[in-house]
Amino acid sequence: MKNNLLRKILAAGGLARGGKLMEATAAIQRALTSITPSAAVRPARTGAREASPAASTEPGSLLDGFLRDIKSNLRAANDGAAASVAEAPTVVQPAEPAFVDSTFTGAAGTRAFKLFEPAGFGAHALPLLVMLHGCTQSPDDFAAGTRMNELAQQEGLFVLYPAQAPRSNAHKCWNWFTPGDQRRGAGEPSLIAGMTRHVLRTHPIDGARVYVAGLSAGGAMAAILAREYPDLFAAAGIHSGVPAGAAHDVASAFAVMKAGPSAAAAPLAFRSAPPGEPRPAAFTPVIVFHGDADSTVAAANGDAVIDATLGAERNATRIEAESVAGREGRSFQRKVWRAADADAKAPSLAEHWIVHGAPHAWSGGASAGSYTDPSGPDASREMLRFFREHPRADERR
């Protein structure tokens, strides 16, 4: 019996060394159940000389060796996976939702980010939403205030939260007002786009359903990304933001925030791209939320974002979809634009939600986060609804 058990355990050890850990575990379980309890566990004899662990063939010592093999191979497997993750990442869906810290480094620098990974969707390719926080906020704060992780788990999507570094802006604002951070392939837009592509490569995400949204400075940067990367982002959500290219320094930024962009600072349709970054000719649908009592970013900026978005779609028709009086919350007006030749069921080109009496805050947000207005219509749900209606068409992939 001892020799038979020895052969079984040695065979299991060979499986473990070969990386077949599940088979090895099953083999050792079969070996141990084939012996009697007295053979598997021998009481120590007082005064008996202990056998050398290296020379012992007792079942207990063999089991110890087998377990060491298992641990060694697990460590080797983990080390190998870490070394090769950049070449061939293995995607393992979490058993529970996860909110993971990480960093991304590109030519323009390094930024931290957090990624919400939903659970229970197998290996299905899911949408990705990039959420850009406002000044003084963080990914955790923004996630709590918008409740976007909760909704993402319900609907099945990944949510990426880039984090602005205090060294890049003392108030953690995205630098939407500096020319070096307003164009494709440069500055912060290139970092956020590169981070997005990195997550696309390493997770089961549908490249035709990648979206971007932001609040305030994050909304302004979302407008830039929508304009500069229409080949990456299928649609954008801009909350309390300003149109892309409306400012060129801090002074002009404050002027735009106070009164909206002037004619002289009207957003350009496109900026020239640096070498190696060809300009895709495409259109990015946009949903805009803005409170008409916003004292930080004037509501005129919401109108300007719509005008800039529809600049390439002059044949758009505006539909006064609804004006809803507040029942339990704030009243609002929702405007929808579709192509002039489209029917009422066709995807819209743009939506503008004007929330009456709302301050500079995420409409319908939770009080757990900063800059939220729980009384308003739910911007998070409406943006996700808008995004679902706007996967990128095949010719734009």
The 10s digit of each residue's pLDDT in 49-71 is 333 333 333 444 444 444 444 44
- So what's the pLDDT on residue 24? 56
- So what's the pLDDT on residue 8? 57
Q: Is residue 92 part of a domain?
A: no
Distance CA 359, CA 365 (A): 12
The encoded tokens of residue 139 equal: 């990914």
Distance CA 136, CA 21 (A): 48
Query: For residue 254, is pLDDT > 80?
Result: yes
Residues making up the chain, counted from first to last: 397
Q: Is residue 195 part of a domain?
A: yes
The encoded tokens of residue 79 equal: 């080390």
Residue 83 CB burial class (10 angstroms; 0-12, 13-18, ≥19): exposed
Q: Are 338 and 319 in contact (CB under 8 A)?
A: yes
Distance CA 252, CA 249 (A): 5
- So what's the pLDDT on residue 14? 56
139 and 58 share one domain? no
167 and 143 share one domain? yes
255 and 292 share one domain? yes
CATH label of the domain that carries residue 196: 3.40.50.1820
Q: Is residue 163 part of a domain?
A: yes
Q: Is residue 312 part of a domain?
A: yes
- Phi/psi at 134 (5° precision): -90, -175
69 and 16 share one domain? yes
- So what's the pLDDT on residue 313? 65
Total domains present in the chain: 2
24 and 155 share one domain? no
Q: Is residue 239 part of a domain?
A: yes
* H helices present in the chain, as ranges: 2-17, 21-33, 37-40, 59-84, 139-146, 148-155, 187-202, 217-228, 250-259, 300-309, 379-388
Q: What is the mean pLDDT of residues 214-241?
A: 97
27 and 152 share one domain? no
Residue with tokens 């090895």, as numbered in its chain: 24
180 and 225 share one domain? yes
266 and 382 share one domain? yes
Three-state helix/strand/coil letters over 50-84: CCCCCCCCCHHHHHHHHHHHHHHHHHHHHHHHHHH
Q: What is the CA radius of gyration of the chain?
A: 28
Q: Is residue 89 part of a domain?
A: no
- Phi/psi at 59 (5° precision): -55, -40
Q: Is residue 324 part of a domain?
A: yes
Query: For residue 178, is pLDDT > 90?
Result: yes
- So what's the pLDDT on residue 320? 67
280: Cβ contacts below 8 Å, ≥ 6 apart: 230, 231, 396
Q: What is the mean pLDDT of residues 165-192?
A: 96
Q: How many CA atoms lie within 13 A of 123 on its CB side?
A: 4
159 and 114 share one domain? yes
Residue with tokens 């895709």, as numbered in its chain: 280
Q: Is the dihedral of CA 304, 308, 314, 318 positive or negative?
A: negative
Specify the pTM: 0.73
Q: Are 117 and 145 in contact (CB under 8 A)?
A: no
Full domain range(s) for residue 113: 98-396
Residue with tokens 């980010």, as numbered in its chain: 113
Pairing, β 109-117 against β 98-106: antiparallel
Q: Are 253 and 174 in contact (CB under 8 A)?
A: no
- Phi/psi at 115 (5° precision): -125, 125
Q: Which of 97-101, 102-106, 346-350 bottoms out in mean pLDDT, i.e. has the lowest?
A: 346-350
Query: For residue 38, is pLDDT > 50?
Result: no
173 and 116 share one domain? yes
123: Cβ contacts below 8 Å, ≥ 6 apart: 91, 93, 204
Q: Are 162 and 190 in contact (CB under 8 A)?
A: no
Q: Is residue 93 part of a domain?
A: no
Distance CA 320, CA 186 (A): 38
Phi-psi region of 120 (alpha: psi -120 to 50; beta: other; left: phi over 0): left
